[in-house]
C-alpha cells in the first residue's frame, strides 16, 4: 500500500529547539456554556479532571482539558478512545445545549522542546512568552496562521494547528529555531 | 584635507586595520570606523551627487540624520542601495559605490542641471511639463526619473534572512544616552521589566564626545559604570544597534535591530524587527544639530559642528586642516576648542550674535582663536570642496568684508530635540521661545488605552540642552513613570552633572539676514531633495501658506531623511516669508519609520516557502506524485487535471471528462467547507441563513441551498445535510468555508445572541472523496460496504447514510455536481489516503481515473450548474441565475430577502443566466467577453447587453458551450449575439437553455 501521508518521521528538526510532530491524539471540541453547572459537572464526571481556569489546561494520565474560549473546550484523550469519550460526554451532558465533535483528524500537534522554546515562539506569536506558566494555554497565531499551545514544562510546549498546514507550520518552526537565531532576550 | 590623526579615536581600534573599496579605489580604515569616518580619513570629502542638480555633496553629519552620504554597499544578493555611510559599519573587504551620478562621481554630466537651476524652481514639474499632454508619460517622466533618484534597486534576491520578535515590557527606554541610562538605573529596584535600546553600537550618545562631568568623574566613566551595573540586573535588558522605528497605539513600539554588518558572504540572519508592547515608554532620543543656511552651504567640507568633533573624538579623524566655525550659539565653540587642542587650525569663529560672554568663549579666546561677532558667511568658495569663506556682516546683505581660506566649515544653527517618536502617536509640540526649537508639549502626550499618557520624553529630547538638566530630567521623568506603574515613588540617588551656563542662542534661519536673492538661490535647506531658501520663498509667494502644501510643492523634507536637518529651517523661512510666527506655521507630521528600514525586515520570515501558507488535503502528496497540475483555490492547492505521459492539459481534461461520463472518475473534494450547526434553534437559524427552507428537511436527507448577503447578493451555495433533529452539516464552497463560518458566527453573536445554536468548522476533519460516473456504485460495492445500502432505493438521490466502506467509517452522500451517478464520501482525514488507494485498486476494472477541477467545471457547466465566483461576482442575485425555485416565498424572513425587494433587484431588465452556443462549434468564447447590441451610448461606448461567465469546450457534446448573463436573456432564446474580440473580429453565438446535457437527469437517477 502506498503511503503518501506525511509521515511523522519527516517532521523532525533539531535546532535551537527540537521540533517534532506528535502521533495523532484524540481531540474533541465541546462547545457549551461553561458557566452552567450541569455542563461543568458533566465534563468533570466524564474526564475525572477539574475544569481548567481561563487560559489554562488541566491534565492527568493522558487526558487533558484545554480552555479555548468562554464557550469552548478542547479535550485530549487517547486517539482510539475518542468515540467512547464522546458517547460518555453525550450521556453526562444529556438535556444540555452543547456541541460535541471529534476533531482528531482536523488538527496536528507539535511537540517543542528546549531552552529556547519561549524565544522561538516569540518570533511569531504576540503572546507574552516570558510570563506564561506551566499549564497555561493560549489560542493565538504563529506568523500568518492560527495556532493554540500550552506549556507542558518550562521548556516544553505542545502546539496545535490545522492539519492542512502541518507542513507550513513545521517549516516555520524550522526557520524560527535555526541555530544561533535566538535573540537571547528571555532567560 | 581631511585625514586620520596619529592619535585619538574612542571608538576605533588602530591595531585592526580594514581595507575597503570605494568606487574602485582601495582605501584603509580601522575596526570601529563607520563608512563615513573611514572615507573622511582617506580625504574622500565628496561622496555623492545631489538629487536634482547633481551638485557635489559631502558628508554633513555623523549620525542617522545624514542627508548626503548614501551609498551602495555589497553586490549581488548582498547589494543594498541608499545605505547611510554615517551609520554603516566598516568591514574588511567592503565594496562601496557612491550614487546618483554618470559617468563618475568626479565628472557628472547631470551637473548641467545646476547651470540651468533657475529653470528648476519649486514646483517646476507642475509648471513646465504640462504641454503637450502626451509628453509627460512618454518623454518628460522617463527623463526626469532617470536624472533624479537615489540608488539602484538590487537585481538579485536578498540571500539573508529576517525575523520578527514579540516582546512585552513594563518600561521601554529609547535612547542610551545619559538621560536614558539614568532612567534605566532608577527602575532597577522597582522590579519592573525594563528594556533600554540604543540605535548606535555604543552607549552614551553625545556625552562620550562632549566630555561632561558627572559627580566627581568624567561622563564616559559614569556611562561605563551605569552600563556595567545595569547589565547585571535581571529585570533590565540592554540592547545596542536597535533603532526605534515607530510608536503606535496602545504602547506598541516597533524596534529595528541590526544583527550583522553584512561582511559575511553567506546567508545570515541580518535584521530583526521587534514588536514591543510597553506599558510605558520613555523617549530619550536626544537632539539633532541644525545646519545654518548660507550660500554654498552644500559644498563638500561644510559640516555640522558636532559632526566635526564626533569624527575627531570618536574616530581620530580631522575633517580639515583649517576649520572655520560658523554659529549662532555656544555649542560650536566646543568644536573649535577640540580642533585647536588636536593641533589643527581654527582661523576664526564666525558668530552671528552681536556679543558673547560665557565661559566657552573665554576658553576659545585663551586658545588664540579669533571670534568674529555679528558676522555671517556671505558665501563659501570652492567648486568641488570648500576652499574658503567670504565673511560679511550678519546684519547686511552679504557684502564681503574679508575672505578666509579653509578646507572645512563647521556650522551650528542650534539644536532640535528628536521629537519624532513623541509625535508618531499624537504627542503635541510647543515652541520653545528661549532655545528656538520645537519640544514636546508634556500636557498633550500620546494616550494609551486607559486614556492616560503612555509615553514620555526625557533629557535633551525634552528640550534640555545642558548636561546638568539633561541628567536630572532623566531621573525626574523616570521617577514619575515608575510611580505611575508601581504606585510607589522609587528611592533613587540622583547623580548630578556639572556644566556651566551658556549664552543665549540667536535665531538665524539664513545668513546674512538681508541676503540677496542671488545668495538665497545658492542657500540650501534640504540637501537631499535639493530645496533652497529661494524655493520656499517662491512657494510662499505663490500662495502655498500651509506648511503641508509648501512641503509637497517644494519637496522639502520629503526625502529619505524625512527632513531631519531641513525641517525647522524650512519652517522658519516659510514663516518669515509669510510674516507669521514659527509656531503658527506649525510642523508637518512626523511618521514612522524614524529611519528607513529594509523591506526584508518588514517581510520578516514570510518569504520563500513561508511567503503564504498553503493548505494541503490528505491526498495532496499523492496528487503531486501522479501528474496533478496545481491551481490555487483559496489557500488550497487543487489539481486542475492529471496529466499523463505526453498529454497536453486540454487532452488530459477531455480524457477525464469522457472517462467520468462513460466509466468512473474519482475526485478529491476535501476542500469543500463543512460546518456543523447544532442546537434547538439550528433549524430556525438555517432558515435565516439560507434563502430556502431548511427546517422541513428530513433527517438523512440533503438539500441544495443558497446564501445571500444582507444586500441580497448571492454569497455562497452548497448542500445541507440534516444529521439529526437539532444538527445540520452545511457544505460551503472551497473558498467560502472560513468566510461563511464567520458570517454565521457574526449573526449569532451580534443579532441572534439569544438563539441556542453552536457552529463548528469541521472542514479539515473530513476528507471528501467523490466517486462519479455510471460505474460508481459498482466500484464502491467492490470496495466492500458494511451497514450501507447503496441501491437506488436504499440511498436515493439527495440522501446520505453512515456506515463502513472497506472497513473505514464513512458518511456517504448521494449528490451530484456532474449530472452522473455520484457519491461524495466523507472519511476521517487521516484515513483518506488509504481510502483513495483502495478505491483506485477496486476501481481498476471499472477504469476509474482521478479528475481535476477543470473536468469538474466543464461537467457542471454542461449541466448548467452555477459556480460561485464564475456566475456570481457580488452583484448577482439568485433570481438572475434562474434559481427562484430555491428562494422561499413562504418564509417571513431570511438574510437578503428585504434587499431582493428593491426595485432594481426586481427590474425586468436584469442580466439573466442563459446558455450560449457559438455558431462555429469549434470556437470557444473568451471568458468574460461582452455582447454588444450594435448601438452606442452618448459617450460613444458600445452598448453592452451581456457577459460570458463560463466558457468551455465540451468533449461530451463535441462543441463549445458557455454560460452568460444577458439582459432579459431567457426571453431571447435562439437570438444571435455579437461578441467583439480584442483583435476586432466578432464571435457570434446563439442564446440557448443553460442546461446543455441530460436535462431530464436520467444519468444521475440510476
Are the beta carbons of B764 and A164 separated by less than 8 Å?
A: yes
Taking the CA atoms of B470, B471, B476 and B477 in sequence, report the sign of the dihedral they define: positive
Of B557, B580, B603, the residue that ends a domain is B580
Distance CA B198, CA B242 (A): 5
- CATH at B844: 3.30.1360.120
Q: Can you tell me the mean pLDDT for A55-67?
A: 97
**Are residues A157 and A146 both part of a single domain?**
yes
Instruction: Look up the domain containing B376 and give its range.
Output: 291-413
Chain A hits for B614, Cβ within 8 Å: 165, 168
Tell me the Cα Rg of chain A. Answer: 17
DSSP state of B210: T
- CATH at A122: 3.30.1360.120
Chain B hits for A167, Cβ within 8 Å: 616
Are the beta carbons of A4 and B833 separated by less than 8 Å?
A: yes
**Are residues B755 and B775 both part of a single domain?**
no
**Are residues A36 and A90 both part of a single domain?**
yes
Q: Which residues fall within 8 angstroms of residue B137, CB to CB, at 6 or more apart?
A: none
Chain B hits for A83, Cβ within 8 Å: none
Chain B hits for A71, Cβ within 8 Å: 758
Could you tell me if residue B453 is inside a domain? Answer: yes
Give the nearest partner residue to A130 out of B168, B275, B764, using CB atoms.
B168
Are the beta carbons of A97 and B756 separated by less than 8 Å?
A: yes
Could you tell me if residue B603 is inside a domain? Answer: no
CA-based nearest residue in chain B for residue A32: B758
Q: B437-468, pLDDT tens digit by residue?
A: 999 999 999 999 889 999 999 999 999 999 99
Are the beta carbons of A104 and B830 separated by less than 8 Å?
A: yes
CA-based nearest residue in chain B for residue A161: B764
**Are residues A14 and A34 both part of a single domain?**
no
**Are residues A161 and A136 both part of a single domain?**
yes
**Are residues B542 and B433 both part of a single domain?**
no
Query: How much of chain A exceeds pLDDT 90, in percent?
Result: 94
**Are residues B517 and B641 both part of a single domain?**
no
- The total number of structural domains in chain A stands at 2
- The total number of structural domains in chain B stands at 7
**Are residues A136 and A162 both part of a single domain?**
yes
- A2 pLDDT more than 50: no
**What pLDDT is stored for residue A9 in this prediction?**
58
Cell of B63: 549620525
CA of B71, closest CA in chain A: separation in Å? 28
Decide if B679 contacts B757 (C-beta within 8 A): yes
Chain B hits for A123, Cβ within 8 Å: 163-166, 605
Instruction: Look up the domain containing A32 and give its range.
Output: 26-102
Are the beta carbons of A101 and B676 separated by less than 8 Å?
A: yes
CA-based nearest residue in chain A for residue B612: A144
A58 CB within 8 Å of a chain B CB: no
Nearest Cα residue to A111 out of A9, A30, A18: A18
Q: Which of B162, B165, B606, B753 to mutate to test the interface with A (most CBs of A within 10 A)?
A: B165
**Are residues B703 and B840 both part of a single domain?**
no
Give the nearest partner residue to B613 out of A1, A168, A180, using CB atoms.
A168
Could you tell me if residue B594 is inside a domain? Answer: no
Could you tell me if residue A3 is inside a domain? Answer: no
Could you tell me if residue A181 is inside a domain? Answer: no
Of B530, B558, B580, the residue that ends a domain is B580
Burial of B996 by CB count in 10 Å (0-12 exposed, 13-18 middle, 19+ buried)? buried
Q: B115-137, pLDDT tens digit by residue?
A: 767 667 777 666 766 677 777 77
Could you tell me if residue B1002 is inside a domain? Answer: no
Of A43, A69, A102, the residue that ends a domain is A102
Could you tell me if residue A116 is inside a domain? Answer: yes
Chain B hits for A94, Cβ within 8 Å: none
A164 CB within 8 Å of a chain B CB: yes
**What pLDDT is stored for residue B360 in this prediction?**
83
Are the beta carbons of B830 and A24 separated by less than 8 Å?
A: yes
- CATH at B344: 3.50.50.60
Could you tell me if residue A114 is inside a domain? Answer: yes
Are the beta carbons of B833 and A3 separated by less than 8 Å?
A: yes
Could you tell me if residue B902 is inside a domain? Answer: yes
**Are residues B109 and B174 both part of a single domain?**
no
Are the beta carbons of B613 and A144 separated by less than 8 Å?
A: yes
Could you tell me if residue A98 is inside a domain? Answer: yes
CA of A32, closest CA in chain B: separation in Å? 8
**Are residues B188 and B126 both part of a single domain?**
no
**Are residues A19 and A110 both part of a single domain?**
yes
**What pLDDT is stored for residue B119 in this prediction?**
66
- A38 pLDDT more than 90: yes
**Are residues B844 and B910 both part of a single domain?**
no
Question: Looking at this predicted complex, what is its ipTM?
Answer: 0.96
Distance CA B854, CA B646 (A): 19
Chain A hits for B679, Cβ within 8 Å: 97, 99
CA of B617, closest CA in chain A: separation in Å? 6
Chain A hits for B625, Cβ within 8 Å: 4
Chain A hits for B837, Cβ within 8 Å: 1-2
Torsion of CA B585, B586, B592, B596, to 10 degrees: 40
Could you tell me if residue A126 is inside a domain? Answer: yes
Could you tell me if residue A183 is inside a domain? Answer: no
Are the beta carbons of B616 and A106 separated by less than 8 Å?
A: no
Per-run averaged pLDDT (10 residues), chain B, 1006 residues = 94 97 96 97 93 90 95 91 95 91 77 71 69 76 69 90 98 98 96 97 94 92 97 97 97 97 89 98 97 97 98 98 97 96 97 87 91 97 96 97 97 97 95 95 93 96 96 96 94 89 92 95 93 94 91 89 92 94 90 94 95 96 97 96 96 98 98 98 98 97 97 98 98 96 98 98 98 98 97 96 98 97 97 97 98 98 97 96 95 96 94 98 96 94 96 98 97 97 95 97 90
- CATH at A79: 3.30.70.1520
pTM score of the predicted model: 0.94
Chain A hits for B609, Cβ within 8 Å: 168, 171
**Are residues B2 and B91 both part of a single domain?**
yes
Cell of B396: 547686511
Could you tell me if residue B1004 is inside a domain? Answer: no
Are the beta carbons of B613 and A123 separated by less than 8 Å?
A: no
Give the nearest partner residue to B833 out of A5, A71, A172, using CB atoms.
A5
Residue B179: left if φ>0, alpha if ψ -120 to 50, beta else—which one? alpha
**Are residues A87 and A132 both part of a single domain?**
no
Distance CA A186, CA B342 (A): 45
**Are residues A85 and A74 both part of a single domain?**
yes
**Are residues A140 and A78 both part of a single domain?**
no
Could you tell me if residue B596 is inside a domain? Answer: no
**Are residues A76 and A49 both part of a single domain?**
yes
Chain B hits for A162, Cβ within 8 Å: 615, 764
The number of C-beta contacts closer than 8 angstroms across A and B is 136
**Are residues B432 and B401 both part of a single domain?**
no
Strands B959-967, B911-918: pairing is antiparallel
CA of B909, closest CA in chain A: separation in Å? 45
Are the beta carbons of B163 and A123 separated by less than 8 Å?
A: yes
**Are residues B377 and B482 both part of a single domain?**
no
Are the beta carbons of A126 and B277 separated by less than 8 Å?
A: yes
**Whole-Å CA distances, B632 to B248, B618, B637, B651, B743:** 36, 16, 5, 21, 23
**Confidence tier at A1 by pLDDT (50, 70, 90):** very low
Q: Which of B160, B163, B729 to mutate to test the interface with A (most CBs of A within 10 A)?
A: B163
**Are residues A62 and A88 both part of a single domain?**
yes
**What pLDDT is stored for residue A4 in this prediction?**
44
**Are residues B105 and B127 both part of a single domain?**
yes
Give the nearest partner residue to A143 out of B168, B606, B616, using CB atoms.
B606
Strands B323-327, B408-412: pairing is parallel
Torsion of CA B212, B217, B220, B224, to 10 degrees: -150
Give the nearest partner residue to B613 out of A102, A165, A178, using CB atoms.
A165
Decide if B382 contacts B368 (C-beta within 8 A): no
**Are residues A88 and A118 both part of a single domain?**
no
State which H helix or E strand residue B859 sits in.
helix B853-862
- CATH at B130: 3.10.20.440
Cell of B699: 433527517
**Are residues B666 and B685 both part of a single domain?**
no
Are the beta carbons of A181 and B277 separated by less than 8 Å?
A: no
Could you tell me if residue B240 is inside a domain? Answer: yes
A69 CB within 8 Å of a chain B CB: no
- A152 pLDDT more than 60: yes
Are the beta carbons of B615 and A164 separated by less than 8 Å?
A: yes
A31 CB within 8 Å of a chain B CB: yes
Of B157, B191, B208, the residue that ends a domain is B157
CA of B230, closest CA in chain A: separation in Å? 15
Amino acid at each position: 500500500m502506498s503511503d503518501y501521508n506525511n509521515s511523522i518521521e519527516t517532521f523532525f528538526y533539531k535546532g535551537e529547539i527540537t521540533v517534532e510532530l506528535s502521533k495523532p491524539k484524540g481531540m474533541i471540541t465541546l462547545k457549551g456554556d461553561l458557566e452552567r453547572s450541569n455542563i461543568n459537572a458533566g465534563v468533570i464526571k466524564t474526564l475525572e479532571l477539574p475544569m481548567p481556569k481561563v487560559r489554562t489546561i488541566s491534565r492527568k494520565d493522558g487526558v487533558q482539558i484545554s480552555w479555548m474560549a468562554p464557550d469552548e473546550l478542547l479535550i485530549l484523550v487517547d486517539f482510539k478512545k475518542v468515540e467512547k469519550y464522546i458517547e460518555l460526554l453525550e450521556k453526562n451532558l444529556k438535556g444540555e445545549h452543547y456541541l460535541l465533535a471529534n476533531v482528531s483528524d482536523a488538527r496536528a500537534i507539535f511537540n517543542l522542546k528546549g531552552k529556547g522554546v519561549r524565544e522561538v515562539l516569540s518570533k511569531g506569536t504576540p503572546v507574552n512568552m516570558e510570563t506564561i506558566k506551566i499549564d497555561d494555554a493560549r489560542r493565538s497565531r504563529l506568523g500568518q496562521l492560527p495556532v493554540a499551545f500550552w506549556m507542558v514544562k518550562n521548556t516544553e510546549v505542545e502546539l496545535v494547528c490545522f492539519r492542512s498546514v502541518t507542513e507550513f507550520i513545521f517549516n516555520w518552526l524550522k526557520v524560527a529555531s535555526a541555530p544561533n537565531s535566538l535573540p537571547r532576550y528571555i532567560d | 584635507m581631511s585625514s586620520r590623526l596619529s592619535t585619538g579615536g574612542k571608538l576605533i581600534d588602530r591595531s585592526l586595520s580594514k581595507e575597503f573599496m570605494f568606487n574602485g579605489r582601495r582605501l584603509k580604515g580601522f575596526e570601529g570606523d563607520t563608512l563615513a569616518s573611514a572615507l573622511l580619513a582617506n580625504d574622500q570629502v565628496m561622496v555623492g551627487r545631489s538629487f536634482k542638480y547633481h551638485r557635489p555633496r559631502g558628508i554633513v553629519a555623523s549620525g542617522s540624520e545624514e542627508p548626503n552620504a548614501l551609498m551602495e554597499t555589497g553586490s549581488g544578493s548582498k547589494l543594498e542601495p541608499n545605505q547611510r555611510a554615517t551609520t554603516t559599519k566598516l568591514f574588511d573587504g567592503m565594496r562601496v559605490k557612491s550614487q546618483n551620478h554618470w559617468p563618475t562621481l568626479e565628472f557628472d554630466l547631470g551637473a548641467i542641471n545646476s547651470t540651468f537651476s533657475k529653470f528648476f524652481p519649486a514646483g517646476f514639474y507642475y509648471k513646465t511639463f504640462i504641454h503637450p499632454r502626451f509628453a509627460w508619460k512618454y518623454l518628460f517622466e522617463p527623463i526626469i526619473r532617470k536624472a533624479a533618484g537615489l540608488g539602484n534597486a538590487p537585481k538579485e534576491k536578498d540571500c539573508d534572512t529576517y525575523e520578527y520578535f514579540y516582546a512585552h515590557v513594563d518600561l521601554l527606554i529609547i535612547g542610551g544616552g545619559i538621560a536614558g541610562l539614568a532612567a534605566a538605573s532608577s527602575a532597577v529596584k522597582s522590579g519592573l521589566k525594563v528594556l533600554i535600546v540604543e540605535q548606535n553600537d555604543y552607549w552614551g550618545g553625545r556625552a562620550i564626545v562632549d566630555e561632561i562631568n558627572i559627580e566627581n568623574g568624567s561622563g564616559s566613566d559614569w556611562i561605563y559604570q551605569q552600563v556595567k551595573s545595569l547589565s547585571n540586573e535581571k529585570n533590565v535588558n540592554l540592547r545596542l544597534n536597535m533603532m526605534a522605528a515607530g510608536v503606535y497605539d496602545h504602547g506598541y513600539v516597533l524596534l529595528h535591530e541590526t544583527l550583522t554588518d553584512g561582511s559575511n558572504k553567506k546567508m545570515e540572519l541580518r535584521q530583526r524587527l521587534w514588536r514591543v508592547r510597553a506599558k510605558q515608554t520613555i523617549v530619550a532620543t536626544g537632539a539633532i544639530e541644525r545646519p545654518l543656511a548660507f550660500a554654498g552651504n552644500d559644498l563638500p567640507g561644510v559640516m555640522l559642528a558636532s559632526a566635526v568633533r564626533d569624527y575627531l573624538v570618536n574616530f581620530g579623524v580631522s575633517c580639515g586642516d583649517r576649520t572655520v566655525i560658523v554659529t549662532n550659539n555656544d555649542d560650536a565653540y566646543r568644536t573649535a576648542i577640540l580642533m585647536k587642542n588636536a593641533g589643527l587650525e581654527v582661523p576664526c569663529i564666525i558668530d552671528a550674535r552681536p556679543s558673547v560672554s560665557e565661559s566657552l568663549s573665554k576658553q576659545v579666546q585663551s586658545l588664540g582663536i579669533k571670534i568674529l561677532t555679528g558676522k555671517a558667511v556671505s558665501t563659501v568658495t570652492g567648486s568641488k570642496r570648500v576652499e574658503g569663506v567670504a565673511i560679511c556682516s550678519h546684519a547686511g546683505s552679504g557684502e564681503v568684508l574679508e575672505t578666509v581660506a579653509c578646507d572645512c566649515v563647521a556650522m551650528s544653527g542650534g539644536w532640535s530635540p528628536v521629537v519624532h517618536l513623541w509625535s508618531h502617536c499624537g504627542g503635541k509640540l510647543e515652541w520653545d521661545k528661549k532655545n528656538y526649537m520645537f519640544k514636546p508639549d508634556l500636557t498633550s502626550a500620546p494616550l494609551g488605552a486607559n486614556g492616560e499618557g503612555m509615553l514620555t520624553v526625557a533629557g535633551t529630547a525634552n528640550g534640555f540642552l545642558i548636561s546638568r538638566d539633561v541628567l536630572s530630567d532623566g531621573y525626574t521623568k523616570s521617577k514619575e513613570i515608575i510611580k505611575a506603574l508601581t504606585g510607589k515613588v522609587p528611592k533613587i540617588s540622583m547623580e548630578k552633572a556639572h556644566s556651566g551656563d551658556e549664552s543665549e542662542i540667536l535665531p538665524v534661519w539664513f545668513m546674512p539676514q538681508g541676503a540677496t536673492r542671488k545668495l538665497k538661490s545658492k542657500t540650501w535647506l534640504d540637501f537631499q531633495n535639493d530645496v533652497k531658501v529661494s524655493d520656499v520663498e517662491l512657494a510662499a509667494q505663490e500662495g502655498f501658506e500651509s506648511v503641508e502644501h509648501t512641503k509637497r510643492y517644494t519637496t522639502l523634507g520629503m526625502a529619505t531623511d524625512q527632513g531631519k536637518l531641513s525641517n525647522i529651517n524650512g519652517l522658519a523661512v516659510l514663516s518669515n516669508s509669510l510674516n507669521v510666527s514659527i509656531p503658527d506655521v506649525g510642523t508637518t507630521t512626523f511618521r514612522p519609520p524614524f529611519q528607513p528600514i529594509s523591506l526584508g525586515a518588514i517581510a520578516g520570515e514570510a518569504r520563500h516557502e513561508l511567503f503564504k501558507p498553503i493548505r494541503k488535503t490528505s491526498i495532496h502528496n499523492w496528487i503531486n506524485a501522479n501528474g496533478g497540475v496545481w491551481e490555487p483555490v483559496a489557500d488550497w492547492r487543487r489539481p486542475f487535471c492529471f496529466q499523463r505521459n505526453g498529454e497536453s492539459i486540454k487532452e488530459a481534461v477531455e480524457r477525464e471528462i469522457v472517462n467520468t461520463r462513460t466509466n468512473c472518475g474519482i475526485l478529491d473534494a476535501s476542500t469543500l467547507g463543512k460546518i456543523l450547526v447544532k442546537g434547538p434553534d439550528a433549524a430556525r437559524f438555517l432558515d435565516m441563513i439560507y434563502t430556502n427552507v431548511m427546517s422541513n428537511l428530513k433527517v438523512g436527507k440533503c438539500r441544495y441551498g443558497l446564501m445571500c448577503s444582507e444586500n441580497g447578493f448571492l454569497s455562497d451555495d452548497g448542500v445541507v445535510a440534516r444529521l439529526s433533529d437539532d444538527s445540520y452539516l452545511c457544505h460551503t464552497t472551497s473558498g467560502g468555508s472560513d468566510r461563511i463560518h464567520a458570517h454565521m458566527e457574526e449573526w449569532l453573536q451580534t443579532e441572534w445572541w439569544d438563539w441556542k445554536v453552536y457552529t463548528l468548522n469541521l472542514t479539515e476533519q473530513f476528507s471528501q472523496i467523490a466517486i462519479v460516473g455510471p460505474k460508481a456504485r459498482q466500484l464502491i460495492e467492490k470496495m466492500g460496504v458494511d451497514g450501507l445500502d447503496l441501491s437506488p432505493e436504499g440511498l436515493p438521490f439527495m440522501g446520505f447514510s453512515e456506515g463502513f466502506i472497506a472497513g473505514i467509517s464513512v458518511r456517504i452522500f448521494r449528490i451530484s455536481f456532474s449530472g452522473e451517478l455520484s457519491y461524495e464520501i466523507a472519511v476521517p482525514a487521516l484515513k483518506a489516503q488509504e481510502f483513495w488507494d483502495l478505491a483506485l485498486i477496486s476501481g481498476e476494472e471499472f477504469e476509474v481515473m482521478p479528475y481535476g477541477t477543470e473536468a469538474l467545471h466543464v461537467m457542471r457547466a454542461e449541466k448548467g450548474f452555477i459556480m460561485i465566483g464564475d456566475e456570481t461576482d457580488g452583484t448577482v442575485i439568485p433570481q438572475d441565475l434562474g434559481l427562484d425555485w430555491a428562494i422561499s416565498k413562504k418564509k417571513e424572513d431570511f438574510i437578503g430577502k428585504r434587499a431582493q425587494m428593491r426595485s432594481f433587484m426586481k427590474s425586468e431588465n436584469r442580466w439573466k443566466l442563459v446558455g450560449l452556443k457559438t455558431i462555429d462549434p469549434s470556437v470557444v468564447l473568451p471568458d468574460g467577453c461582452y455582447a454588444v447590441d450594435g448601438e452606442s451610448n452618448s459617450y460613444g461606448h458600445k452598448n453592452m447587453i451581456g457577459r460570458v461567465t463560463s466558457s468551455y469546450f465540451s468533449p461530451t457534446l463535441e462543441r463549445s458551450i458557455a454560460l452568460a448573463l444577458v439582459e432579459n436573456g431567457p426571453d431571447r432564446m435562439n437570438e444571435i449575439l455579437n461578441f467583439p474580440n480584442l483583435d476586432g473580429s466578432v464571435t457570434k453565438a446563439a442564446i440557448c437553455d443553460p442546461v446543455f446535457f441530460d436535462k431530464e437527469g436520467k444519468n444521475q437517477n440510476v
